[in-house]
Structure 1
């Protein structure tokens, strides 16, 4: 919350701060974070559980702040540098901290940065591989190889990183398999032989299966490898489809294969050697692990899509015929599931039931409005029957979620038939009433199901319904309109009651949880509950925060790690969503988030004192002074490296601004959104359009050389109004500025990116709320040095006056 408050505050005060204040402030924050880490590591010692120590968390914040600082430099000086360079530099600068702190977070951040940098680089130099099948496939293969190397490195470093939950190998391994499947799909689009090209991907999957069943047992990665192989086979079979009969012929083999695959994976949960048994295998004995449910869900999605598509292709169904066909499929699937013997028939029945409930839901939404209550009752009756009679957790989740979502859409009252999709535009308190009422009911039902189901003889029966309610409530919170934080007096008192009800949910859960913890003193239990109750005032009107905290507390209380992780992800996602809500100003958001975060931090410190937990107990010392010394050296060396690189770049850009020549180019802006500064204009210069036309005229030696090296140089000359026009184009930079130019002319570098000409930058950032002012921009002003390197400095109006 404090980090989110800082982002909002920086964005709100962006216009008032000078470039020096922005850069100095960002570097001061980075230095402060590293010094705090130094204090924890060198003076107080660091935790032996390196991933959960306070110093590890603060180092992670410093790593994120490093990326923000690099982005800040590029945005202040409007350099227009390629994004892949920023991400690669960011990853390299974090290496010293990774080597000394050895945390999973830093390693994962490095993996993500390398993947993003590689993806952006390939997107640039393969002529936008996202849209070209051949280049897309090649880029996917290269990214798979990159992740394979990272996976091997992580496996050999897993003890150093103390990755007890094997988070890294699973994330990186999933990346390898994702890009392998993506390459297969791209080759299918390119019309190549799918069978031949699928073989390398299947070999990679087989290798992963062998390694993680024999050498490094990990059921999660085994499941992912099996799922990737299944997807490869699906791609091959899809390449053979010509009509509805072809779809029918491949659907049954895929369902059979799914049944055999799932049976094999479940068999792997059986007894293993004690010395090779992993934590996941221990947890999986006697029940299905969570990653099996993910595999089931993906496979069910594939097979269900094929079954749903079949009647549409072969029977040409009308809208009113969709739900009856779905009802027949659901009934037939239930019959197969209940009477069938063997995994194949049960899997076929599960697929037919999933397709049936989906078609009934879609059919009821497609039919004409009228008597929505009858339609909802019919759908819920079918979903309830399938939920009770079909003992499949994934199918139960699908039935429950579709019933809840369809019921919400069918019973929604508004200006349109399904006004639920217009939640962002609701402003009347009467309209918002039904939003928050449904949200509160879903959240309360989710809590009751989770708590009540955990006390039943078969808690697994209620878990899918609990997950469906949790996902539905969080989705409603994401979509719910948020009135101005200081506009409560203008709303109905009943709506305020609903807001308060959403906000106090985590308070009630925490109070109930602490009440059962008799080992804690009454003051601690009461103080923690009251602290959260005061904090809930800050997020009234922001239900996503309250619900995410509720899932966190609920997951901790019930021992459900997946629910706890869901709460963390939901909280981070909603904070990002909260930034873009326009009902409140950024300054108001920063105030609310800052006060709430500061209050929670203060409460945590006080409650720790009351609980008698000293700093030494919270952060146990490391084993030897030598280990502390080299960690401190690595931290300070990493900080020094970052500051040197950043300030060297700042100095070089300041030199261009001080000594560069002035250039004015005509432009045509458009206006989307940005993340930190609030708004930006996407720039398109007339000179770029002229060059684009020149390159498209036909194959010439100059055009081919420019396209090959992805860059070139414009020779510019000012006209009578001082606006620079393109005189000629050079592929290479001349030995001297005068070579190839005449008096009064100068050279400006351009680049080819995503089949477009990019002159310096393609965006101009400005503070929030100033979009109207920059709509008058007609020219861009640059400073260009003797080597053709330019920086965009100002936007000018039609009279070439600088826009504020």
Structure 2
């Protein structure tokens, strides 16, 4: 019953997500057939309706998931509404303020509901607000390297604080703890790159090494396998980056390749020993256990990820270093024979060395395969390819886990594909043959007595079939392939669900989402068409899920009945929704006041054509009044300082820069005050963007020469229209 409940929740979540995506697409298209009230009124009503749905579902038994999902939809709709208000009144496209307001509302919901999706959404929105505050998409702000380092370092420090709070249970979200730890350490790794940050990289190398040593000791004391393994993964990334840096600094000299061979050996040995050590620990309950109880075996996933990473990274740098050593350090007359011999020797010896540590064995085997197969393809030694195919097949047979077997199954298919492609010289035909062959391989599991080996062959054939078929839809370049693949995915989802194959079901579901998302952007459809189709998909998913749920045999559900609703929590949620509606009302009212009573002025402009993250296509504007006066070169104001600018009407009806406004001065007839801010290069007035229907930006850029502005007595302005000629 638990599986069926998860299936129903997944259906509802996917349907709701499709409807919300349709909403975003619809308003991002900026459909010209709707006026501003026809855009804004339905959004406000939708926020109220979704809140009402939450109130209803929260009082119903067994509807805790749907009530939370409806509240999450309220919050997402609020974010879309903020974007649409800015789009409708053509003001502050992609502003960090939008994300900051949305972030505050999401944090309030997270505190009230304590549901992980709210925490994750708040984390993402907070990072977007922070980043866009310093690096907005409107205009450009160039910072010195030191300032950029300071901004990014502060973000890493902020993630460190979030990690401390969440890992100490003050912030009840193990997911946020994991994200903040990963992002914080990732930023430090990025800043330690000597090729990009020559003046500061040493300090960040020291910070990363020091933090890693401190945290590893902490994780060992708490026996936290999840973070120990993940730290090993981050250290692997760090070491690979150091290897690349050394490659550029040494300019591929002989000393580099000699040192590189030692580095590769230590990396493979250290990775194998680290995995073996962490797996030997008996872990108490930690964040990883909580994730496991939710249905995800986090430790096993990280062990597999780290194992694959060590093998992949060791193979990559080992292959490059060994080939470079043979070609540049030694002086063989025919290095291709030497490389081929090394490839064969490593492949055959590691295939036979079954008692060797699996990480070391498989890394050396992969290095031998890469060198041997690469040499065979380049040096016309195709006759050796069957040997390498047999070696990977034997490695698959002798594998100790599904992850190892999956790795060698993939290697077998890749080598076979390369061999087949070299002979046929037709990518489409090669992929077709492999696509047809995979179900046959999966079917052969029926004749294998070893159950683990048989299941590995079955699942690897299944996964490979879907992935190769996915690649074929791109090589085929025909809608018939897309349609056939879509039908195949639907059938596979149904079969996996019926057979209770949870791993295959999740894999196919994720692949289906990737396929739909990729093909959406691979077609010529506009956002409006995508909106309609996504809405249809959403309604169908919800309807099918509801029917399936109704037909489920009545029994005690795995989910506990909803507890009595806390009055204080309910009042808090209600207060947040009311605050959201007030924010929207204030924004709309303020803009409508300016449009109704503001002074009409015209400014000359220079348009560009970018795209907003949330709000669709818009024309980015540059005004002649944005150019700083000559006096700024002597007394330049601080960046971000408010600058009231006096603009004056010219005989043509267009306003031009006159002077900076000073308190107490009197405006002359035909003059007005326009509020701006100095950004270091020019004055920005908050009217640097004008939203247009999708696909019309280029035409607007070509024709528009003047902007019609409504100017309030306070100096704030809104764009009304763009014109080809002066008034």
The TM-score with structure 1 as length reference comes to 0.72
**Partner in structure 1 of residue 693 of structure 2:** 767
- 1:407-443 Cα deviation digits (max 9, x unpaired): 89879989xxx8x8xxxxxxxxxxxxx7996896598
Name 1:278's counterpart in structure 2. 289
The answer on 1:791 being equivalent to 2:718 is: yes
- SS for the counterpart of 2:635 is helix
1:480-629 equivalences under 5 Å are 495=480, 498=481, 501-510=484-493, 512-513=495-496, 557-560=500-503, 566-584=507-525, 586=527, 588-613=529-554, 617=557, 620-623=560-563, 625=564, 627-629=565-567
Higher mean displacement: 717-726 or 436-445? 436-445
Q: Deviations over 1:547-591 (max 9, x none)?
A: xxxxxxxxxx3332xx65555554444444455454445555444
Give the conservation status (yes or no) of the 8 Å contact 1:224–1:295.
yes
DSSP 3-state at the match of 1:668: strand
User: Contact 1:761/1:792 (CA < 8 Å) preserved in 2?
Assistant: yes
Distance 2:184 2:603 in 1: 45
| Cα distance between partner residues in 2 of 1:711 and 1:412 | 68
1:29 aligns with 46
Task: Decide whether the 8 Å contact of 1:93 with 1:642 is kept in 2.
Answer: yes
More relative contact order, 1 or 2 (CA 8 Å, 6+ apart): 2
Residues 1:220 and 2:226 aligned together:
yes
Aligned length: 689
Q: Tell me whether 1:247 sits opposite 2:256 in the alignment.
A: yes
Shift of 1:328: 5.6
Q: Give the match for residue 112 of structure 2.
A: 100
1:201 is matched with: 208
Tell me which residue corresponds to 2:88. 76
What residue number does 1:292 align with? 303
Alignment correspondent of 1:44: 60
Taking the aligned partners of 1:197 and 1:766, their CA distance within structure 2 comes to 44
- Partners in 1 of 2:325 and 2:717 — Cα distance? 56
CA distance, structure 1, for counterparts of residue 74 and residue 237 of structure 2: 39
Q: Which residue, 200, 203, 210 being the options, matches 2:217?
A: 210
Q: 1:174 aligns with which of 175, 182, 193?
A: 182
Task: Provide the rounded CA distance (Å) in 2 between the counterparts of 1:354 and 1:694.
Answer: 67
Q: Deviations over 1:741-774 (max 9, x none)?
A: 6542333344466967644244332223544652
SS at match of 1:654: helix
Q: 1:95 to 1:195 in 2, by over 3 A?
A: closer
Q: 2:344 aligns with which of 327, 331, 339?
A: 331
SS in 2 for 1:788: coil
Q: What secondary structure does 1:684 align onto?
A: strand
Q: Residue 346 of structure 1 corresponds to which residue in structure 2?
A: 361
Deviation at 1:92, TM superposition (A): 0.4
**Residue number in structure 2 paired with 1:260:** 270
> Counterparts of 1:353-752 in structure 2 under 5 Å?
353=368, 355-356=370-371, 359=374, 382=388, 385-386=391-392, 388-389=394-395, 392=404, 396=408, 399=411, 402-403=414-415, 441=436, 456-457=452-453, 459-460=455-456, 467=463, 470-475=466-471, 477=473, 495=480, 498=481, 501-510=484-493, 512-513=495-496, 557-560=500-503, 566-584=507-525, 586=527, 588-613=529-554, 617=557, 620-623=560-563, 625=564, 627-673=565-611, 679-688=617-626, 690-691=627-628, 700-703=633-636, 705-706=637-638, 708-709=639-640, 712-728=643-659, 730=660, 734-735=662-663, 738=665, 742-751=668-677
Distance (Å, rounded) in 1 between the aligned partners of 2:597 and 2:43 = 26
Residues 275/711 of structure 1: CA separation in 2 closer, same or farther (3 Å cut): closer
Structure 1 residues 235 and 592: alpha-carbon distance in aligned structure 2, compared to 1, 3 A threshold: closer
Helix, strand or coil: the match of 1:14? coil
Deviation at 1:304, TM superposition (A): 4.5
Are the counterparts in 1 of residues 40 and 84 from structure 2 also a CA contact under 8 Å? yes
What's the secondary structure of 1:31's corresponding residue? Answer: helix
Counterparts of 1:286 and 1:760, CA distance in 2? 49
193 and 598 in structure 1: CA distance in 2 versus 1, 3 angstrom threshold: closer
Asked whether the equivalents of residues 181 and 201 of structure 1 are also in contact (C-alpha less than 8 Å), the reply is yes
Change over 3 Å in CA distance of 1:407–1:275 after alignment to 2: same
Residue 16 of structure 1 corresponds to: 33
Give secondary structure in 1 for the equivalent of 2:670: coil
Do the aligned partners of 1:781 and 1:796 also contact (CA within 8 Å) in 2?
A: yes
- 1:100-125 Cα deviation digits (max 9, x unpaired): 21100000111111122222234369
Residue in structure 2 matched with residue 2 of structure 1 by the alignment: 19
CA contact (8 A) 1:184 1:235 kept: no
Give the root-mean-square deviation of aligned CA atoms: 4.6
Aligned to 1:189: 196
1:85 is displaced (CA, Å) by 1.9
Q: Is the 8 A contact 2:344 2:372 kept in 1?
A: no
Indicate the SS of the match to 2:453: coil
In 2 relative to 1, CA 122–8 (structure 1 residues): closer, same or farther, beyond 3 Å? closer
SS in 1 for 2:39: helix
- Structure 2 distance, partners of 1:229, 1:463, is 31
- How many angstroms apart in 2 are the aligned matches of 1:462 and 1:353? 27
Give 1:148's aligned residue.
160
Aligned to 2:129: 117
Distance 1:462 1:80, change over 3 A: same
Q: 1:290: Cα distance to partner?
A: 2.2
The offset of 1:324, in angstroms, is 7.8
For residue 149 of structure 1, report the CA deviation from its aligned partner: 2.0
Residues 397, 467 of structure 1: 8 Å contact kept:
no
**Contact kept? 2:373, 2:385, Cα under 8 Å:** no
Distance, in Å, in 1 between the alignment partners of 2:335 and 2:647 is 64
Counterparts of 1:287 and 1:449, CA distance in 2: 31
Question: In structure 2, what is the Cα distance between the partners aligned to 1:670 and 1:375?
Answer: 55
Asked if 2 retains the 8 angstrom alpha-carbon contact of 1:8 and 1:590, the reply is: yes
8 Å Cα contact 1:304-1:352 kept in structure 2: yes
Quote the residue 1:550 is aligned against.
Answer: none
- 8 Å CA contact 2:219–2:227 kept in 1: the answer is yes
Higher mean alpha-carbon deviation, 768-777 vs 403-412, is at 403-412
Secondary structure at 1:667 match in 2: strand
Under a length normalisation based on structure 2, what TM-score does the superposition of the two structures give?
0.79
Contact 1:201 1:229 in 2 (8 A): no
Q: Which moved more, 1:399-408 or 1:253-262?
A: 399-408
Determine the C-alpha separation between the residues in 2 that align with 1:570 and 1:191: 41
CA gap of 1:254–1:592, structure 2 versus 1, over 3 A, is: same
- What is the rounded CA distance, in whole Å, between the counterparts of 2:645 and 2:424 in structure 1? 58
Q: CA 1:508 to 1:197, structure 2 compared with 1: closer, same or farther past 3 Å?
A: closer
